[in-house]
Structure 1
């Protein structure tokens, strides 16, 4: 059984997207106002997107190039061969172009023999001989091509109009034939179907409709919000629905919450599939009716935008509810819903973002009602696509909002989007985030603000230090199509990233001091008053230009008492750092500008302390209880004189002092560290001594001392490596 006449992957570059479903070729004087006119109207009534030259050609344009383009972009060419067809060199040129695609996958030529004999066409006899006799008198060079095209089309199976049957009956059969070859209603969604051909073909193959088995199959469509899951499901439903006994498309079931919502959906399902008009009073009665009435019907059901397993259990619970050969299509953003309902991974189609070419075409169709940007809009179009980042929802919404708008309006819209993302797009994306568990939402916001484009393992390490469960959380976000892991790196769509950052800003978009997270230097600089809102600050080297930016206020940082995470590149600070949040779990500050950590700083949950190339002379005075601290990294801190008292850091596993060229002594408390595995003293060239007990440590795996010249001499190591 062949459901689609679509291009194969090998031909996708030449016929990747059909603009028209049918191209009508005919001799206007013979059939324009009768047979062909009626056929065109019948095709239109069926929603079949048809090109007919006197209808579709824009005024003022050259006819020949437009016709050739229309032929190339049509899936089926219907050729009405009438007695005077060959009298038109125009028609014959059309036919030559049409026949060029006869053997291409996905392309069909359907001849209509209108009161002519195929044999006369093939052999150029009768009226066709008369036409060619005239051409030969003019010594036309195109004659061999024309004859070959007529021979090719005459050999194809087609429809005959010869007076034995009414033309209306024949037109009805032709329309049915065309519909069977197309098996879809793409035209009803024409503006949304850019890039849909290959996706439809792949998903229909996944449905395995040609299978001789009569098993019931549940098949999923998965993808991030706005990527086109519903469009794909709707198109496929239109393609295959006629081959099922009972059909129903339940749109956006996530909007129907609670028992009453499910009961309404059950009622709709029964009404559309088997015509039961009685009201369903409760979910259990609905389940009973669905499973009893549909168990013998070959059924097609689309359950769209599922966000809860209970919706599936009450609507399409088990395969035995449906008759042999049934197909249940489920669209969702959450892979876990499909898993919990027993949909196998090999029965899940993941919808990808558009390609660059598809995104451009979709935007042009929406904004310009054309396949190309308007004159002077090329650069503006590129900028809008950079914002939308290949997401169909964003492209459709923004493109539709700019139809027939001036360049000045486009520029104003682009400027507004920098500060205020489109609310219609954001609303769809935010819905998914609102359904997350609180910890998963925190991880999502952290990734959006700090870790998109960052190594997966590094991000997980920091999130783990922050008290989250990143193994579970990252997996949940991946399964909900909110993030992805690409080559070991966390990836998130830019618009989802903007949603996460909007959550961080909450209801204070212009007051960074009240945000939960800060990720830009300018925003941190704007914090002037005490705040208990900020819980994490991560600045990236590439976003900080030390020479161009004013110093930050150390006092503002001192007042952020809820901080759990700080990652700073080298930056300028003014004032005194009187305090740091005791809630810190991870502190990384390159070129820390102060000589000592604040005396009041006792972060009992701190796991890593990284102060590379710092100005530290003594890390802290006295003893501090830091039971969670596992790593201290002070590499390159040339002013460091002595390591601190480490008695309260009993779980320390790594102490990295490489390049601390001012270091004279390692404090004796280091001998109490029963879990220390790595001590790096490389290039501590003024170091005089280390506790002898270190050499008896059973936990220490690596003691790195190359470049410690004085120490090597005192310990009789000889010349250091």
Structure 2
């Protein structure tokens, strides 16, 4: 407010502009310093009617950029500078951010999943994450840690989120809207209630060329959809707020669809319907669901032949995957990665998951009710990463896991109830890294299993002081072992476990 007043009002206090009008205009600049300065300077010395005319245009749905060409020009420079990065996908990545609702944090892994598929980047390659870092370096986004502490085990980015400035999102939307609907690379639709009038235009009744579709609806949306034809769409982002939500039928015509993201921003779980239509699409490779109730899915799971990764965050797992008549290896014949994060009602990972022998990564984090893993986990002979961080009630690791000879990373950090490792843990001949910080139960044992000395490839153990003493004697057998001791007080440890998500 001070910065705006400095630019918009005389310093001698002689302004006759009402304070509430000044305040509303400043709020329209959304806290962006450049906007506060440029808009304020454009109004300096103008009569009250000019101020009110500008404010009315904003309230009528006009963008701030429609009423201030100088601000548009100066901010546009930030986007245009990305064009100078020849052969880079950074600008496209920046423009994709407009697909997510204003003021919401975007999980870094969601963006990386999209970009890996749409821009042919290797998800494991540094290019996907470096695009985010480049945008942060140019002050176009902020990358924040969503949890108390982050300790990298294998370059994992699930604890990072991206925040875009509201005004920069407005600029992206404004630039997108300059193109005719039928030629836009990104079709970004925002619906209030069931009012489709803005979108039922002539251009919407023909095939559209967008590669990315984003639809945001509010809590009053009834899931009564209009029709769309997007034969080139590769990414669909559905942002909802209602307790019942139906995946639009027109998606079954998107034969190029690779990524589906469904995020519920409402106060209760969303029951998802029409999920079975995804079985008609042969190219879907990644699905992410957040704050969705999966109880309605266990009877409607389609065969997803190309799916490589599925993620559940803050979901109500219910009876998902527990129907004994469903063979998960047929539903997910090529699945390589499953993520389950902050799903409080997950008590046991269903044994059917262990039939998906294509799995390379399993990540179950902050699922505080999880008490056991299936004994059949040893069947997953292609598993390379097993992450069980902050599953505080997990009592033991199945003995069968010693058959996971390709397992390279094991994360059992903050598994407070875990009191021992499998006796034959030394048979994990491919193991290179173990993260076991915060394993209070293990810190109380006298010694590790004798087979530990057979972990010849083990390079790194991350632990706290109580467990460090158990590993020290092993270093004489494990020549490449580096023990990284993490120091933190009991309060920090507790807060990391009970407060996994950090809100502003």
TM-score, with normalisation over the residues of structure 2? 0.50
Q: Radius of gyration: which is bigger?
A: 1
TM-score, with normalisation over the residues of structure 1? 0.37
